Amino acid sequence: MKRKKALITGAASGIGRATAIRFAKEGYDVCLNDLQSTKLKTLLGEIAEGNHLVLDGDYTDVKTIVEGERMIRQNWGALDALINCAGLSEKTNPHEMELGRWRIIFDSMVNGCLLISQLAVKFMNNGGRIIHITSIHGNRAERYCSSYSMAKAAINQYCRSMAIELADKGILVNAIAPGFVDTPMAIKDGENELESQWFKDNYINGGHLPLRRAAEPEEIAGVALFLAGADASYITGQVITVDGGLTVTF
């Protein structure tokens, strides 16, 4: 049976790492992309065996995209799925910061999303899947998160637009919007916000998070696997919220 091929960005840690492990376990060959090359090599030695590739580099850098295109063409020749898990977060103040500094977060994620999607489409045929990990921040607001939130909102809309653009090619495009997830991104100012008194008071004791816990990265990876599979053949242009019920209450 022919093995499927998946390109996974942000694969060195968090959701990306869990996604790489899950897809390899399910029989995919995976191309691992991240800036953290040492962690990628470590991950490569931990996942299930396959014809895997390592594309270390910044997915917003055209040089990385060109190298990725070369690697996939030379080693695989086709691509079945892109799972774009790469992301970064930094406090931004929309009414005081210099524009260039404010745009770093926004441009990195939005431009990276565009470039990596363009790469993927070149190798996809009917049945291809593009899945971007966004966030519930894409339709909610939090202090000092304007650049991050706007980037995620832009990617959500990009998925909807690309779902229409690529429908005739048989390529499905969706997004997953997690809430709290236990990843390195939860560590802010040296503290894991999931272990803070603020989180316990508001989301566990206060009941604002019905399931009263953050997600594990593997739980997001499972949704990505579903969207990449045969059972999701009639889902496109959607933002699937995976937040433990956080956004259905107040």
**CATH number where 166 lies:** 3.40.50.720
| Residue 120 confidence (pLDDT) | 98
Nearest to 42 by CA among 80, 12, 4: 12
| Residue 21 confidence (pLDDT) | 98
- Active site annotation includes 59: no
Query: Could you read off the pLDDT of 88-107 as tens digits, one per residue?
Result: 877 788 788 888 888 888 99
| Whether the predicted pLDDT of 73 surpasses 90 | yes
How many angstroms separate the most distant Cα atoms in the chain? Answer: 57
The single residue listed with the structure tokens 């939005």 is 110
Mean pLDDT of 17-40: 97
Q: Indicate whether 126 belongs to any domain.
A: yes
Q: Indicate whether 201 belongs to any domain.
A: no
Q: Indicate whether 191 belongs to any domain.
A: no
Rounded Cα gap, residues 245 and 224, in angstroms: 18
Which of 28, 59, 144, 148 does the annotation list as catalytic?
Answer: 148
Residue 113: exposed, middle, or buried by beta-carbon count in 10 A (0-12, 13-18, 19+)?
buried
Residue-number span of the structural domain to which 234 is assigned: 5-186+215-248
Rounded Cα gap, residues 33 and 13, in angstroms: 11
Count of domains observed in the chain: 1
Mean pLDDT of 125-154: 93
| Residue 11 confidence (pLDDT) | 97
Q: Indicate whether 198 belongs to any domain.
A: no
- At a CB cut-off of 8 Å and minimum separation 6, what does 190 contact? none
Rounded Cα gap, residues 245 and 164, in angstroms: 29
DSSP 145: B
